[in-house]
């Protein structure tokens, strides 16, 4: 293997990391995560006192990540009992948690009440009644936001669009329906309605859709003040900021989105004579995405003359389902040949028994051979968090880089791990 000039990520030789920790390997950079958190703080929190930013933990979650987010002063958006439990076990302050979900179970809502989470984002009218009953049982006050559907369509893959009318998330933008939800919250003695939430979708590169959604929510706030005398204290504008996967992507700094959001909130509040609500944002991908890469070892190389060359790696769909799930595009570097001219075009295939298990089509590379190390870039978001055991492939280890230090934050699964639940079921 020629390792004349290895590819470096966050100051580390990735070929050496692959040799030491094995492949497939998720590599996260704490320094890059912190850098992203800082730019979110500068874009919103420092400019606009009262505003808050929650990291959307579905993008990548571990106890190590919770501790980084906590120390950066951000809140945490969780969407299930499992994410909430992880945050609590990591010692994350519960008052900085925002709990989402379009179908929260009674068990999850009970956890939210018992743990004392900062906000529950209510997704359905029924949930207000259920939460009130649970909060009353424990005599605990609960702060909520109501998720609404702003009926704004972002340009992104259909599977990650959420702001459109036809969506399983949130309460439709029909005044009578929202009035009913707001009235129900106002009538619930243990519930305090803090305001409204929307999330337009993921990997969005448009500013105007955030402006449009804010305008609609502010008009709704005005309507509710007129009809019910209710005035919102906060608006949660969700996440969705796009990142660089390939050269075709032109990511923007978070201030590009937040400045537009804040200007619209300020302008509309003035125009409609409303108290200016505090703004909350929930970026996930933007914080974790470019802070992670995945290292693979190249195995079989199969050339089909006049068709394509398949280069197979030792992972694929189970560690990164995004290409199969929604045609996500990635770029990659041959880590041990980073300085060699890219003279050929190949297709990077995973090792699963699925024709659709292709990580990258038409990647330009130097000549390849078995044992080369491939670094797929920008896999920090929705990679490990969406991992599965299809074909009973053990899940990779995750390492976290910080300066010169390397920590294993999630060890590689073993074949025994794959059998653990079966064996335990046998015992019981
Ligand atoms: C409610 C909510 N907030 C925030 C996010 C984070 O989105 P992104 O990772 O694109 O920033 C999501 C993603 O699905 C979401 O559903």
pLDDT along the chain (428 residues), means of 10: 78 98 98 98 97 98 98 98 98 98 97 98 96 98 96 72 77 91 98 97 93 96 97 97 96 97 98 97 98 98 97 98 95 98 98 96 98 98 98 98 98 97 81
Closest ligand 1 atom to Cα of 284: 9
Q: Do strands 344-349 and 12-13 pair parallel, antiparallel, or not at all (unpaired)?
A: unpaired
Domain identity same for 195 and 93: yes
Residue 244 belongs to a domain? yes
Domain identity same for 131 and 273: yes
**How much distance in Å is there from the Cα of 240 to the middle of ligand 1?**
6
Catalytically annotated residue among 37, 66, 352, 353:
353
Domain identity same for 261 and 304: no
Kindly report the protein residue whose alpha carbon is nearest to atom 16 of ligand 1.
Answer: 199
Angle at 140 between CA 137 and CA 141, to 5 degrees: 125
**How much distance in Å is there from the Cα of 321 to the middle of ligand 1?**
17
Query: What is the count of structural domains for the chain?
Result: 2
Closest ligand 1 atom to Cα of 241: 11
Residue 353 among the catalytic residues: yes
Residue 183 belongs to a domain? yes
Residue 37 belongs to a domain? no
Domain identity same for 225 and 296: no
Q: Token pair for residue 103? A: 């179908």
State which of 202, 261, 289 you would mutate to test the pocket of ligand 1, scoring each by most atoms of that ligand within 8 A of its C-beta: 202
Kindly report the protein residue whose alpha carbon is nearest to atom 12 of ligand 1.
Answer: 239
CB 230 within 8 A of CB 188: no
State which of 204, 209, 239, 285 you would mutate to test the pocket of ligand 1, scoring each by most atoms of that ligand within 8 A of its C-beta: 239
**How much distance in Å is there from the Cα of 105 to the middle of ligand 1?**
20
Q: Please identify, among 239, 260, 283, the residue that sits at the C-terminal boundary of a domain.
A: 283
Residue 23 belongs to a domain? yes
Closest ligand 1 atom to Cα of 283: 11
Ligand 1 residue neighbourhood (C-beta within 6 Å): 56, 58-59, 77, 100, 199, 202-203, 238-241, 282-286, 381
- Domain holding 21: CATH number? 2.40.37.10
- Domain holding 159: CATH number? 3.20.20.10
- Tell me what pLDDT residue 153 has: 76
The 3-state secondary structure of the chain reads CCCCCCCEECCEEHHHHHHHHCCCEEEEEHHHHHHHHHHHHHHHHCCCCCCEEEEECCCCCCHHHHHHHHHCCCEEEECCHHHHHHHHHCCCCHHHEEECCCCCCHHHHHHHHHHCCCEEEECCHHHHHHHHHHHHHHCCCEEEEEEECCCCCCCCCHHHECCCCCCCCCECCCHHHHHHHHHHHHCCCCEEEEEEECCCECCECCCHHHHHHHHHHHHHHHHHHHHHCCCCCEEECCCCECCCCCCCCCCCCHHHHHHHHHHHHHHHHHHCCCCCCEEEECCCHHHHHHHEEEEEEEEEEEEECCCEEEEEECCCCCCCCHHHHHCCCCCEEEHHHCCCCCCEEEEEECCCCCCCCEEEEEEEECCCCCCCEEEECCCCCCCHHHCCCHHHCCCCEEEEEECCEEEEEECCCCHHHHHHHHHHHHHC
Domain identity same for 332 and 379: yes
Residue 234 belongs to a domain? yes
Residue 162 belongs to a domain? yes
Domain identity same for 346 and 276: no
State which of 33, 58, 97, 100 you would mutate to test the pocket of ligand 1, scoring each by most atoms of that ligand within 8 A of its C-beta: 58
- Tell me what pLDDT residue 377 has: 98
Kindly report the protein residue whose alpha carbon is nearest to atom 3 of ligand 1.
Answer: 238
**How much distance in Å is there from the Cα of 64 to the middle of ligand 1?**
20
Domain identity same for 17 and 148: no
Kindly report the protein residue whose alpha carbon is nearest to atom 13 of ligand 1.
Answer: 202
- Tell me what pLDDT residue 169 has: 84
- Tell me what pLDDT residue 163 has: 66
- Tell me what pLDDT residue 152 has: 84
Residue 320 belongs to a domain? yes
| Among the listed residues 313, 300, 247, 319, the one whose alpha carbon sits nearest the alpha carbon of residue 27 | 319
Domain identity same for 77 and 197: yes
Residue 215 belongs to a domain? yes
**How much distance in Å is there from the Cα of 87 to the middle of ligand 1?**
17
- Tell me what pLDDT residue 160 has: 65
Q: Token pair for residue 358? A: 């292709």
Q: Please identify, among 242, 265, 283, the residue that sits at the C-terminal boundary of a domain.
A: 283
Q: Please identify, among 245, 262, 283, the residue that sits at the C-terminal boundary of a domain.
A: 283
Domain identity same for 268 and 124: yes
**Cα 106 to Cα 121: distance, rounded to the nearest angstrom:** 14
- Tell me what pLDDT residue 312 has: 98
Domain identity same for 13 and 75: no
- Tell me what pLDDT residue 173 has: 86
Domain identity same for 252 and 232: yes
**How much distance in Å is there from the Cα of 286 to the middle of ligand 1?**
10
Angstrom distances, CA of residue 19 to CA of 94, 315, 372, 388: 39, 16, 11, 24
Q: What's the domain range around 343? A: 8-27+290-423
- Tell me what pLDDT residue 106 has: 97
- Tell me what pLDDT residue 60 has: 98
Domain identity same for 83 and 198: yes
């Amino acid at each position: 293997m020629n390792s004349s000039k290895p590819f470096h990520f966050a100051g580390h030789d990735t070929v050496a990391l692959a040799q030491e920790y094995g492949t497939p390997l998720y590599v996260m950079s704490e320094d890059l995560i912190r850098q992203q958190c800082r730019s979110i703080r500068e874009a919103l929190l420092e400019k606009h006192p009262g505003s808050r930013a929650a990291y959307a933990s579905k993008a990548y979650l571990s106890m190590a990540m919770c501790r980084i987010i906590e120390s950066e002063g951000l809140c945490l958006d969780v969407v299930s009992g499992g994410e909430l439990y992880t945050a609590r076990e990591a010692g994350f302050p519960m008052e900085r948690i925002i709990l989402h979900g379009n179908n929260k179970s009674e068990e999850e809502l009970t956890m939210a009440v018992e743990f004392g989470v900062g906000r529950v984002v209510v997704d359905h009218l029924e949930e207000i009644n259920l939460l009130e009953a649970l909060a009353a049982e424990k005599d605990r006050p609960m702060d909520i936001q109501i998720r609404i559907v702003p009926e704004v369509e972002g340009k992104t893959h259909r599977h990650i669009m959420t702001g459109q009318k036809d969506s399983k998330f949130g309460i439709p933008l029909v005044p009578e329906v929202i009035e009913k939800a707001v009235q129900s919250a106002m009538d619930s003695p243990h519930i305090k309605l803090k305001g409204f939430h929307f999330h337009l979708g993921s990997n969005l590169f448009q500013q105007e859709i955030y402006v449009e959604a804010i305008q609609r929510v502010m008009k709704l706030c005005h309507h509710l003040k007129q009809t019910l005398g209710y005035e919102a204290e906060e608006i949660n504008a969700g996440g969705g900021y796009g990142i660089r996967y390939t050269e075709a992507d032109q990511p923007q700094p978070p201030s590009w989105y937040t400045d537009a959001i804040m200007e619209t909130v300020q302008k509309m509040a003035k125009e409609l004579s409303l108290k200016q609500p505090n703004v909350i944002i929930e970026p996930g991908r933007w914080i974790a995405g470019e802070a992670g890469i995945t290292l693979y070892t190249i195995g079989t190389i199969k050339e089909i003359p006049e068709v394509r060359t398949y280069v197979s790696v030792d992972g694929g769909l189970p560690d990164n389902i995004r290409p199969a799930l929604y045609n996500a595009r990635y770029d990659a570097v041959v880590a041990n040949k980073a300085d060699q001219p890219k003279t050929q075009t190949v297709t990077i295939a995973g090792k699963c028994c699925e024709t659709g298990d292709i990580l990258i089509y038409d990647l330009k590379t130097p000549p390849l051979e078995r044992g080369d190390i491939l670094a797929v870039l920008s896999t920090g978001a929705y990679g490990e968090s969406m991992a599965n055991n299809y074909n009973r492939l053990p899940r990779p280890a995750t390492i976290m880089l910080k300066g010169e230090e390397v920590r294993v934050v999630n060890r590689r699964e073993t074949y025994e791990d794959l059998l653990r639940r079966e064996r335990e079921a046998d015992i019981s």
